[in-house]
Amino acid sequence: MDAVTLKQTLKDGGRVFGCMLSAMASTRFGPMLAGSTIDYAIIDSEHGSRDRAEIQQLCTMLRQADITPVVRVPVPKAEWVAMALDAGTAGVLVPYCETVAEVEAVVATAKWHPLKGEYLLRAVREDVLPSDAAREYLEGRHRDNFIIIGIESEPGYQNLDAILAVGGIDGVFIGPNDISTSLGIPNDYTNPQYIAVIEDIITRCEAVNIPVMVHQQTIADSTMAIEKGARFVLHGTDSNILQRALQTEFNALREIAGGAASVARDTVDVV
């Protein structure tokens, strides 16, 4: 799915489906991804060790596979958003946002790059551009771009209404590991407190037509997120999906050959 179609699908109340690329580096995965049925993929440069050249190559690979590329930048800084856009991404996921100032800066860059400084802030705060020609040019340049804001801590959650009031946000990301740890219940995704926070964030975002993605790792946990109203469906990582596929198929072959299935272990660290 191309980025313009993805944005329109979400705007119309639909769902899109994708995963996180945490380990994948070789562009030879392109043909496999092309047949994967996912709509988008997130290139992780927050926890993944990726340089700008690799991000550019992966963005090109995903676009060639008709999958919308999204880059998760390392920190909520405008400079990283600009670098991701220059690398060819369509979407930018900005992690761990807590303040209005952080969100204003990254949203402004996603919408109006390469404007900088005072002109950039005027664009996001007052919707004032240097000229009508500049507006037309920049809107065309960013036609398929979108920005996702990470709400991954209790302070970010408590400041959600002020953050949403910034405007220009295309999606909200919930990092379960981070937010559950911030709530004092690390990785306890069946805890009523965690579920209540997820449900509340989705409800408040949907009230202003902003889709939410919750990065869950299992079908059961992703089902909960969908049932609570998540429409920007983000399920698993390349590493754990591949591990589960290997476990399932090779255990099936062991049993066909008359042996016993091996005990499957989850050895992938997801953050």
Beta bridge partners of 146: 91
Which pLDDT score is estimated for 268? Answer: 73
Number of other CB atoms surrounding residue 123 within 10 Å: 22
What does the pLDDT average to over 67-76? Answer: 97
- The CA distance from 211 to 207, in Å, is 10
The closest of 220, 200, 105 to 160, measured between CA atoms, is: 200
Which pLDDT score is estimated for 125? Answer: 83
What does the pLDDT average to over 26-51? Answer: 92
In tens, the pLDDT along 162-186 reads: 999 998 999 999 999 999 999 999 9
Give the domain ranges of the chain.
Answer: 3-103+147-237
Q: Which CATH number fits domain 3-103+147-237: 3.20.20.60, 1.10.10.10, 1.25.40.10, 3.10.20.340?
A: 3.20.20.60
Which pLDDT score is estimated for 106? Answer: 95
The closest of 189, 197, 117 to 151, measured between CA atoms, is: 197
The pTM of this model reads 0.92
Q: How confident is the model at residue 120 (pLDDT cuts 50, 70, 90)?
A: confident
Residue 199 burial (10 A CB sphere; 0-12, 13-18, 19+): middle
Number of other CB atoms surrounding residue 271 within 10 Å: 12
Token readout for 125 is: 């705060």
- The CA distance from 182 to 51, in Å, is 29
pLDDT at residue 271 greater than cutoff 70:
no
Q: What is the residue-averaged pLDDT of the chain?
A: 93
Phi/psi region, residue 266 (left: phi>0; alpha: psi -120 to 50; beta: rest), is beta
Q: Strand runs (DSSP E) across 76-144, as ranges?
A: 91-94
Residue 124: CB partners within 8 Å, gap ≥ 6? 104, 107, 108, 111, 112, 166, 167, 168
Contacts by 159-162 with C-beta closer than 8 Å and gap 24+?
159/98, 159/99, 159/100, 160/201, 160/204, 161/204, 162/100
The closest of 117, 61, 111, 66 to 87, measured between CA atoms, is: 61
Which pLDDT score is estimated for 266? Answer: 76
What does the pLDDT average to over 32-42? Answer: 95
224: DSSP letter = H
In tens, the pLDDT along 185-220 reads: 999 999 999 999 999 999 999 999 999 999 999 999
- The CA distance from 261 to 3, in Å, is 42
Amino acid letter for position 88: G
Which pLDDT score is estimated for 195? Answer: 95
